[in-house]
């Protein structure tokens, strides 16, 4: 039977590799080593029931190989859920390169990596992630066609991610306040980087009362002057009176400490992994009567943009597809209320249900 199920996060560091793969329900891992260039990487294909496994390549100085393995297993499984809930015909995959992104990069290094990606014959499609730049990906593309997000192609995914986050926020408002309108709502955007700034632009056009925080003073100044947003401190943001908290910077900001301070009734932002411990803080948010828009469902604009590139679809198509995030989030939130189950758990269930259902459709082929 084709089935994909989230498992409890545990410390699997002592487990043999195959046991870890089995725990996370992975299809395939490719361990890559090249002494000549110093490349050490792991490519993880979690699930290809819906289509080729798409997910970025991360370059990071992991303290050991097990840390890298845990990261790639967790991230690639996350991509299966994100792609599934977004209605894309893509599976979940991810790659990690172990090493210092400041000192180890070279053309040969990334072309060697591209050869490893190519050896999977399209089962895995790569893209940029933390520590990787468009020029690195250009080197990868010299050895494989299975790469997206190249300069001159689908481009910066942030505007589409912001658009999806904006419409997802409206879906939450519809359920919580009885109207899509964000006019006059006090909204705190944490992080005004690529996605955060585009989100602020949408919110300002709708006359929301916008508060922003960032650790980059230049971005703060520019965005506050351009859109008339009020600046608050990086820690102060958790204490202000607000209707909506929009995390667009870091993960794990919904935790024991912040939940005792946050006064909003909606949490809807683009950051990945917002709940520190999914099960604990997803439940706690619901117990406080807040709506939490599951991160991987509301921030799927970026992967929608990659999908458009894979399928040769226009940016207009991608923008329209990101509009579907409104219906997805509304469905999740309404099901959460009806079934009295936290939104994160409903989202996981919906993603699993899609993989299972489409798996049955595909089997007879």
Query: Which positions lie near ligand NAD, rule CB under 6 A?
Result: 157-158, 161, 190-196, 213-216, 219, 234, 248-250, 270-272, 299, 302
The smaller minimum CB distance to ligand NAD, of residues 204 and 219, is found at 219
Distances (CA, A) of 226 to 183, 203, 204, 233, 365: 18, 12, 10, 19, 55
The smaller minimum CB distance to ligand NAD, of residues 177 and 317, is found at 317
Q: Radius of gyration over alpha carbons of the chain, in Å?
A: 20
Question: Shortest Cβ distance from residue 164 to ligand NAD (Å)?
Answer: 9
164 vs 320: CA distance, rounded Å: 9
The smaller minimum CB distance to ligand NAD, of residues 80 and 190, is found at 190
DSSP assignment string, 158-189:
HHHHHHHHHHHHHHHHHHHHSSS--TT-EEEE
The smaller minimum CB distance to ligand NAD, of residues 99 and 164, is found at 164
Buried b (16+ CB within 10 A) or exposed e, 136-171: bbbbbbebbebbbbbeeebeebbbbbbbbbbbbbbb
355 vs 48: CA distance, rounded Å: 9
Question: Shortest Cβ distance from residue 36 to ligand NAD (Å)?
Answer: 33
The smaller minimum CB distance to ligand NAD, of residues 5 and 222, is found at 222
**Other C-beta atoms lying within 10 Å of the C-beta of residue 331:** 16
Q: What share of the chain is helix, strand, coil (3-state, %, to 5)?
A: 45, 15, 40
φ, ψ dihedrals at 16, nearest 5°: -60, 155
Question: Shortest Cβ distance from residue 217 to ligand NAD (Å)?
Answer: 9
Question: Shortest Cβ distance from residue 273 to ligand NAD (Å)?
Answer: 8
Pairing relationship of beta strands 39-47 and 91-98 according to DSSP bridges: antiparallel
Q: DSSP class of residue 12?
A: -
**Stretch (H or E) spanning 110:** helix 107-119
Point out the residues that are catalytic. Answer: 94
Question: Shortest Cβ distance from residue 272 to ligand NAD (Å)?
Answer: 4
Is residue 160 a contact partner of residue 298, using CB atoms and an 8 Å limit?
A: no
Enumerate the β-bridge partners of residue 57: 95, 128
Question: Shortest Cβ distance from residue 161 to ligand NAD (Å)?
Answer: 3
Contacts of 183 (CB under 8 A, 6+ apart): 206, 207, 208
The smaller minimum CB distance to ligand NAD, of residues 93 and 120, is found at 93
Closest CA to 85 of 349, 361, 279: 349
Residue number with the smallest Cβ distance to ligand NAD: 193
φ, ψ dihedrals at 24, nearest 5°: -90, -5
Question: Shortest Cβ distance from residue 293 to ligand NAD (Å)?
Answer: 13
């Amino acid at each position: 039977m084709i089935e994909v199920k989230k498992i409890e996060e545990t410390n699997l560091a002592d487990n043999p590799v195959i046991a870890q793969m089995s725990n996370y329900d992975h299809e395939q891992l490719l361990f890559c080593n090249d002494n000549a260039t110093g490349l050490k990487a792991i490519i993880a294909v979690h699930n290809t029931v819906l289509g080729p496994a798409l997910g970025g390549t991360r370059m990071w100085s992991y303290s050991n190989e097990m840390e890298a393995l845990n990261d790639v297993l967790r991230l690639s499984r996350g991509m299966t859920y994100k792609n599934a809930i977004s209605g894309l015909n893509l599976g979940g995959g991810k790659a990690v390169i172990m090493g210092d992104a400041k000192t180890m990069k070279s053309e040969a290094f990334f072309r060697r990596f591209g050869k490893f990606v190519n050896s999977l014959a399209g089962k895995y499609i790569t893209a940029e992630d933390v520590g990787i730049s468009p020029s690195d990906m250009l080197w990868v593309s010299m050895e494989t066609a299975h790469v997206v997000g190249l300069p001159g192609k689908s481009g910066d995914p942030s505007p589409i991610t912001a658009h999806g986050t904006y419409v997802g926020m409206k879906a939450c408002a519809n359920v919580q306040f009885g109207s899509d309108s964000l006019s006059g709502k006090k909204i705190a955007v944490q992080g005004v980087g690529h996605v955060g700034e585009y989100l602020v632009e949408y919110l300002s056009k709708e006359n929301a009362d916008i508060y922003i925080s960032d650790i980059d003073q230049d971005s703060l100044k520019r965005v506050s002057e351009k859109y008339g947003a009020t600046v608050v401190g990086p820690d102060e943001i958790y204490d202000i009176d607000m209707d909506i908290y929009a995390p667009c910077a870091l993960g794990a900001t919904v935790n024991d400490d912040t939940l005792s301070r946050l006064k909003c009734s909606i949490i809807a932002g683009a950051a990945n992994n917002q709940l520190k411990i999914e099960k604990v803080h997803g439940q706690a948010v619901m117990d406080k009567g807040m709506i939490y828009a599951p991160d991987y469902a509301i921030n799927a604009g970026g992967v929608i943009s990659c999908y458009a590139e894979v399928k040769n679809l226009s940016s207009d198509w991608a923008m329209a597809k990101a509009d579907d995030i409104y219906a997805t989030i509304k469905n999740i939130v309404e099901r959460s209320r009806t079934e009295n189950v936290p939104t994160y758990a409903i989202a996981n269930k919906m993603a699993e249900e899609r993989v299972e259902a489409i798996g049955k459709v595909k089997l007879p082929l």
